[in-house]
Structure 1
């Protein structure tokens, strides 16, 4: 057990988890790479929801009473200590999520930046003056609007960015003066608990964040609670649909995944495109909602691109995530790796060619590249959430855009070209939440708006934009 995990377990139990009173089995957390148990935590059930809401209600009043200066001060100090203790947090991410240690360090650095951006938003996002006298009949009025907290926000986070996606929800929520009920992924609770404890250490009232662990029944009960004013969810489409059906009248912000298309045009810098796409495809063992999955390459350069991409992929080291030399760690579980391998096998049976990878060994799935995947196969239409990439070809610009837009949902897309005209035209015509030009589809900074397009698109993350989702305007007018 890593030092970071030990710290989270020792200090978290009895504070963030004091709402758990039901005789439920403990949540057992295991290391994805080894299967070793790294800790266990009490769980909540529907019977605990009234106590959870009571605590969060008290936290709502405490959070609202904090001045903007104090919220910013708490967040700034949290960001500072997160950078200071970065290695302990990185070790915890490796232990429970299976990211390689180098990737985990980058995630910690991003999380610290997310919290610091939240501090800046607490100071900046106070509202605006309203020019009442710009309208006839209102010349004798002056006023403004403020941004007020919503109240209790339910934040539900996934395992693939166990720390930074928690920061993206609780940072803006705190900046806005809200209280949070945080339900982290069952596989990765410790990173979230460590961040919560750090915020408390820096002065956040204890009741301002209530961390809970439990199954679908707990989630459904919390989602349906009238006291919850907003649900911020990152996860799968089916769960997102279930949340929307049971939430009632409240705000919803959802990031539901995608199948990122990457277009490589004939005039692209092939070497740069290969390097960027390999990185974008296999970061976090492919468990990345904006990771590169579908690469569409102009026929004139397809052979060279594919050969170079496969050769570059073969050089990646799959193995112990604690090793400084590993590029790809385990998937979150052996079952997840087995599902990915089964999907690849299905494509192979349908006529696809597997150039490398394709077979799972326990939780490890080596980087996998396929060509010739039949149109309509799930690798073309669904988010695989695994280190699996398909390469296809196109002949005409219109064909590439149509393929990019073929799915009913989209987060990010990317394109590679040396033509400014193509770049601007394609970025306008591709239907996605973001279009990265001459960069990987998984490029993201924590200040930019982030979310989906088309089906399932609800709200935006990115600190400023999440802050606005988590607050509401109040108009004050003086006559």
Structure 2
């Protein structure tokens, strides 16, 4: 790959000159993949102003046009699956097999968006329920918010962009994407595909830039009417404090628990939780981070979980045999290593892993992690999982809830009554029964409680977030 442009194109005949560059490097060996322009605050302002013009175009696009463009985008994306997979694997942490799954999901996300574009409607209202309103009729319908600012992370550089762009286009909005600086290439390639699919250029913009330099400009711009952010809690708090009166949808991560009851199918639980803990090197907001296991099955679960973890193959991302690649940067691997060593000093026991080589960190299993330890309380965002024996389901749910996060949880049991009891009591946005917290399909509502975020993604629900309710009432002749 090479330099993308010395200018960032936003609409036909318009561009923003860039003097600085962002180097996109493969975290596996630090090799230079590409350079992309780093937009300045002045450039971001110009991009937002042009995107605001795009919002007017988007609002006037008929539904059939939105549907056609989105289906065409999905077709083009599907036909170039291997090309996109290679970009995802090179610029980020995913193995080539994980990258292919992400492309398939992005295709599905765009197709669902096309379907949901047909289903944006309202309802009639019985105005005559109010005395004196017998001669009034009407109802409500949904209108686009206007311009959506989407800020996306590195860990799903294509599908998380699709989860913001697809619903925005489906609902008649313009969208401007500020991708993660370390993984901007997938978003830029999606922009190219959507241009080829016929989307008017000002409706969708990708603006690479360093968040510290252009983030405030984007979120504070008065033309931006909604912010869709996926990232860390601290960044989310800063955005919320600076954005002003705007709609906001935020997914802010978690330290997801799994609960293994005594009657669980241990083979299924072990397989699901190992995959959920180490997919994409554990850099996943849904990753299994804390596992609470009833005492009666703890020894068997621990033995099986550690054995399966040791079989996890770490290495070259592009090899079909590799299960897990590197973390996104050496700095992140160093941070994870610090957290693990800190937990061990506090009394945690290391069963396997705990070794760093550059940006690589071996799949790591801990037990006896003290309550309140950072590696249990915060989001580790790395390939580390802690196992905790508990007396019963009561202790498990209590400990699972003792955190400021609440995205998803996994529960493993054959007892339907116990499953529903935990479903009701777990303080999370989603409970996966006999599956790990890492399970998700792109059509389901997705989001958390407490500091895990605001609002819900998932295409249908994102469309709802990206539209406003407008009431219409006709007064008839009496």
Normalised by the shorter chain, which TM-score bucket?
A: over 0.9
List runs of 5+ in structure 1 lacking aligned partners.
none
Q: What is the correspondence of 1:393-472 to structure 2 with a 5 Å cutoff?
A: 393-455=389-451, 457-472=453-468
Work out which of the residue numbers 146, 150, 154 in structure 2 matches 1:151. 146
Distance change (3 Å), C-alpha of 1:12 and 1:449: farther
Tell me the equivalent position of 2:157. 162
The whole-number CA distance in structure 2 between the counterparts of 1:300 and 1:136 is: 65
Q: Once superposed, what is the RMSD of the aligned Cα atoms?
A: 1.6
Shift of 1:128: 2.5
Tell me the equivalent position of 2:171. 176
The whole-number CA distance in structure 1 between the counterparts of 2:130 and 2:446 is: 35
Shift of 1:237: 0.7
Shift of 1:19: 4.8
Q: Say whether residues 1:61 and 2:56 are aligned partners.
A: yes
The whole-number CA distance in structure 2 between the counterparts of 1:287 and 1:418 is: 30
The whole-number CA distance in structure 2 between the counterparts of 1:171 and 1:129 is: 28
Shift of 1:144: 3.0
Shift of 1:352: 1.3
Tell me the equivalent position of 2:319. 323
Give SS of 2:386's match.
strand
Q: Deviations over 1:2-61 (max 9, x none)?
A: xxxx6xx658964249654353x2011001111110111111122223311221111111
Q: Does the 8 A contact of 1:55 with 1:210 survive in 2?
A: no
Q: Does the 8 A contact of 1:20 with 1:43 survive in 2?
A: no
Shift of 1:275: 0.4
Give SS of 2:240's match.
helix
Shift of 1:142: 2.5
The whole-number CA distance in structure 1 between the counterparts of 2:23 and 2:52 is: 29
Distance change (3 Å), C-alpha of 1:11 and 1:68: farther
Tell me the equivalent position of 2:470. 474
Shift of 1:457: 2.8
Q: Does the 8 A contact of 2:328 with 2:359 survive in 1?
A: yes
Q: What is the correspondence of 1:189-200 to structure 2 with a 5 Å cutoff?
A: 189-200=184-195
Q: Say whether residues 1:32 and 2:27 are aligned partners.
A: yes
The whole-number CA distance in structure 1 between the counterparts of 2:424 and 2:327 is: 35
- Normalising by structure 1, report the TM-score: 0.96
Give SS of 2:38's match.
coil
Q: Deviations over 1:277-313 (max 9, x none)?
A: 0010000000000100000000111010000000001
The whole-number CA distance in structure 1 between the counterparts of 2:48 and 2:158 is: 24
Q: Does the 8 A contact of 2:7 with 2:16 survive in 1?
A: no
Distance change (3 Å), C-alpha of 1:130 and 1:323: same
Q: Does the 8 A contact of 1:110 with 1:164 survive in 2?
A: yes
Q: Does the 8 A contact of 2:219 with 2:242 survive in 1?
A: yes
Give SS of 2:468's match.
strand
Tell me the equivalent position of 1:307. 303
- Normalising by structure 2, report the TM-score: 0.96
Work out which of the residue numbers 327, 331, 337 in structure 1 matches 2:333. 337
Q: Does the 8 A contact of 1:13 with 1:41 survive in 2?
A: no
Q: Deviations over 1:231-258 (max 9, x none)?
A: 1100001100110110011011110000
Give SS of 2:177's match.
strand
Q: Which moved more, 1:257-266 or 1:396-405?
A: 396-405
Q: Deviations over 1:416-473 (max 9, x none)?
A: 0111010000000000011111001010011111111123531110000000100111
Q: Which moved more, 1:215-224 or 1:235-244?
A: 215-224
Tell me the equivalent position of 1:105. 100
Tell me the equivalent position of 2:282. 286
Q: Deviations over 1:336-357 (max 9, x none)?
A: 1111111111112222111111
Q: Does the 8 A contact of 1:287 with 1:385 survive in 2?
A: yes
Q: Please identify runs of 4+ aligned residues in structure 1 that moved more than 6 A.
A: none
Shift of 1:214: 1.6
Shift of 1:136: 4.3
Q: Say whether residues 1:47 and 2:39 are aligned partners.
A: no
The whole-number CA distance in structure 2 between the counterparts of 1:82 and 1:146 is: 32
Give SS of 1:402's match.
helix
Q: Does the 8 A contact of 1:64 with 1:178 survive in 2?
A: yes
Q: Say whether residues 1:265 and 2:261 are aligned partners.
A: yes
Tell me the equivalent position of 1:87. 82
Q: Say whether residues 1:15 and 2:20 are aligned partners.
A: no
The whole-number CA distance in structure 2 between the counterparts of 1:381 and 1:10 is: 41
The whole-number CA distance in structure 2 between the counterparts of 1:32 and 1:13 is: 26
Number of matched pairs: 472
List runs of 5+ in structure 2 lacking aligned partners.
none
Tell me the equivalent position of 2:110. 115
